[in-house]
Amino acid sequence: MTEPVGIVLGILGLTGTCLEVIEFGFKAADRKEDFEDLSIQLQFEQIFIGHWAENVGIFNRELGKTKAFPFSYCQLIGRTLERIIGLFHESSHLVSRYEEKFKSVPIINVADEEDNICRKIIRSVKERDVPRPRAFRWAIRDGSRLEKLVGRVSSLRRALCELLPEDIHLVERQMLRDKVTVSTPGIMENLKLAAAQMGQRSASDFEIMSAIESAVTVREALPIWKTNEEVEGDALIETHFLRDARFPHQALPVDLARWQGCIQSNQIDFGTRSVIVEWRCSSSYQGPNAEMQLRIDVVQLATLLNAVHGRLNYHIPKFIGYFQDEKFHLGCRYGLVFESPLHHRQIPQQSPLTSLYEAISTNEHPPELGLRFRLAREIATSVYYILSTGWMHKAIRSSNIVLFNKNENENEAQSPDSILKNPDFALLGFGFSRPDRRGEASIKENDSSLDLYRHSNCVSRAWNTQEYQERGYQKLYDLYSLGVVLAEIGMWRTAASLNESRRRRFANQEFSIYLQQKASAELPLSMGQIYSDAVHICLSSQFNITQADPHGRQLLDRFDGMVLQPLGICSA
């Protein structure tokens, strides 16, 4: 029996009206400050409702899936949406009164958001020529009434989500992209407080709101929000700085190689825990203030690494702190200290963690397909979350992805073979990471062999070009590097191995072109067309950004829809 398509689409039209009504709210200007947190909570609810409709009832062009509200639920969904709209009716007559006696301002200000979810839903409704109720304007001046209003909207929205559940991880990514990435300095504290209040009010919202709090904590400390003087005087310097770090059993490396061993400090009881140390060095900076800029950057990075602790989707090891290596002979050097993913194991310190690069190099036979799909999906998700905080990694490659097997015998060293039976990973390589903002100093890793993982616009020979000098490093380049790693996982060959093949047969061809062609030829056979297409989009940078994208929100939206979601449906 064919479902009445008009009724199903009518739900979409009703959703569009619901979103517009929420957006057409006004508050008395003399009470503006009292409403800040509640205004943000109401916008959270609008975004939640919009993405719920998008995720369960709108055609997904990238995945080629047709989704629709089940007809059997349409009546209940329609009544629920009408109840949400009805909550605002009694305040609609206040608009004209406010225009006469008070100045009024919008409760939700979306003027700076180029393509928010409300407009996306409305556009989808118009494309289908769906009739819908007319939206109306409303106003409010009483804070307690607005609080009750937000609470009722939240209850009805959660009822919709219980009726037709959506992918909670997808919703979390959407909320980070649509609210956090476009937020301005003035609302950061209110944004974090509103997220905390919503997380406390509803257990079902807690994980998403907690992720938003973490991302806002990172963005609050970005240089775009703070002056260098404010950063220099920040208490976070004392919070994370290990003044008396000691390394009694092993000498620190004389170069910038990643180091694993034991650390001692009177500030933290490390016991026998194994740690990983990565480096940031003043030799990578230029100018008379190199050491000061290095110190500021380390504090910023420490804020990022500490804020995302415990957030599983980032896959970043627990950050312990940083120290200054005063004995280093090539300038000022700071060590970033992470807890080893296997810190609890009593294994010899000579047993280093295995990188993805080493696992691919030493294992001729790849792990089973399902494990590779999971690894690729989780690595891509980790990159998404890092970019959503306002940072760029700048060194995404298989040697910076550390593998381990949590289920192995705790008293035995892990071999690459045993790790690949059930691999988990940690993303490292933050020695050159920086915030994504115009004018930010972009330090570079002077190793041309790493060009294999770099976009053609940011390989070492391009650093002195006018284009790179003007535009600098971009988020898009991190996604290219991710594409190289995904290709390595899919073909189970390192970029270095693939480059050797290129030199023997196509010496005059650029590696990036060779890799695209090689991946497009081999991946459909070994990993399937969906995986191959996702890799191709990263390597070709074809994310179809059609307008200015100063916050990177559109790029994250396309990356989610064209790469993450397709990877999510890949299965063995």
* Model confidence band, residue 300 (pLDDT cutoffs 50, 70, 90): confident
The sheet with strand 401-404 has its strands ordered as: 354-355, 401-404, 424-427
Q: What is the pLDDT of residue 303?
A: 85
Q: What is the pLDDT of residues 513-558, one digit of tens each?
A: 999 999 999 999 999 999 999 999 999 999 988 777 877 889 999 9
Q: Which of 376, 371, 365, 306 is nearest to 336 (CA)?
A: 306
- Which domains are assigned to the chain? 5-220 (1.20.120.1020)
Q: What is the pLDDT of residue 1?
A: 36
Lowest mean pLDDT among 355-359, 368-372, 440-444, 514-518: 440-444
* Model confidence band, residue 129 (pLDDT cutoffs 50, 70, 90): confident
Residue 64, pLDDT > 70, answer no
Taking residues 141-150, what's their average pLDDT? 90
Residue 51, pLDDT > 90, answer yes
Taking residues 245-268, what's their average pLDDT? 86
Pairwise CA distance, residues 425 & 356, whole Å = 9
Q: What's the residue count for the chain?
A: 572
Residue-by-residue DSSP string for 422-440? S-EEEE--GGG-EE--TT-
Taking residues 376-398, what's their average pLDDT? 95
Q: What is the pLDDT of residue 347?
A: 43
Residue 178, pLDDT > 80, answer yes
Residue 238, pLDDT > 90, answer no
Kind plus residue range of the DSSP H or E element containing 105: strand 104-106
Pairwise CA distance, residues 405 & 419, whole Å = 5
Share of the chain above pLDDT 90, in %: 43
Pairwise CA distance, residues 198 & 218, whole Å = 20
Task: Confirm if 386 and 400 have CB atoms less than 8 A apart.
Answer: no
Residue 413, pLDDT > 80, answer no
Residue 102, pLDDT > 50, answer yes
Share of the chain above pLDDT 70, in %: 85
Taking residues 217-235, what's their average pLDDT? 60
Q: What is the pLDDT of residue 237?
A: 58
Most confident by average pLDDT, 79-88, 133-142, 433-442: 79-88
Q: Which of 344, 342, 337, 321 is nearest to 271 (CA)?
A: 344
The sheet with strand 25-28 has its strands ordered as: 104-106, 25-28, 138-140
Return mean pLDDT, the chain: 84
Task: Confirm if 402 and 354 have CB atoms less than 8 A apart.
Answer: yes
Pairwise CA distance, residues 173 & 208, whole Å = 9
- Residue bearing the bigger pLDDT, 465 or 232: 465
Q: What burial class does residue 416 get, using C-beta atoms within 10 Å of its C-beta: 0-12 exposed, 13-18 middle, 19+ buried?
A: middle
Looking at the whole model, is its pTM more than 0.85?
yes
Lowest mean pLDDT among 34-43, 135-144, 268-277: 268-277
Pairwise CA distance, residues 531 & 134, whole Å = 43
Q: Two tokens at 46?
A: 């609008």
- Residue bearing the bigger pLDDT, 32 or 227: 32
* Model confidence band, residue 112 (pLDDT cutoffs 50, 70, 90): low
* Model confidence band, residue 121 (pLDDT cutoffs 50, 70, 90): confident
Q: What is the pLDDT of residues 460-513, one digit of tens each?
A: 888 888 888 878 889 999 999 999 999 999 999 999 999 999 888 887 789 999
Taking residues 152-161, what's their average pLDDT? 96
- Residue bearing the bigger pLDDT, 236 or 522: 522
Taking residues 442-459, what's their average pLDDT? 80
